[in-house]
């Protein structure tokens, strides 16, 4: 499935979440709680959960729940380890 085809099957919020994931992933992997991701993207926790499920359905995202506990000012609670399944990051999504 081409990147443009994938974008057509996602809502605007899901696209924003995917773009955020692409921007923060290192070697396709990143960590974060639903609450932290929601805050970063400025959406609800429910929206993050739905987006993750949709991205998993499309074969773009996998994760391990409860991968680590974090108790600093930015992240509090249990984080998940995420993996973008294929090299889907594009230059426009990466920080300059």
DSSP string covering 31-51: EE-HHHHHHHHTS-HHHHHHH
Three-state DSSP at 58 gives coil
- According to the model, what pLDDT value does residue 81 have? 85
For residues 12 and 67, give the distance between their C-alpha atoms in angstroms, rounded to a whole number: 28
**Mean pLDDT taken over the chain:** 79
Read off the pLDDT band of 50 (50, 70, 90): very high
Q: Give the closest residue to 67 by CA, choosing from 17, 16, 29, 19.
A: 29
Cβ burial of 34 (10 Å; 0-12, 13-18, 19+) is buried
Question: Which whole number is the average pLDDT over 51-60?
Answer: 92
Read off the pLDDT band of 88 (50, 70, 90): very low
């Amino acid at each position: 499935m081409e990147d443009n085809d994938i974008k057509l099957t996602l809502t605007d919020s899901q696209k924003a979440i995917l773009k955020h994931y692409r921007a923060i992933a290192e070697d396709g992997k990143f960590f974060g709680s639903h609450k932290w991701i929601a805050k970063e993207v400025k959406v609800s926790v429910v929206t993050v959960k739905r987006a993750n499920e949709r991205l998993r359905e499309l074969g773009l995202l996998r994760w391990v729940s409860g991968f680590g506990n974090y108790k600093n000012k930015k992240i509090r609670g249990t984080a998940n380890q995420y993996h973008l399944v294929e090299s889907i990051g594009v230059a426009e999504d990466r920080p300059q």
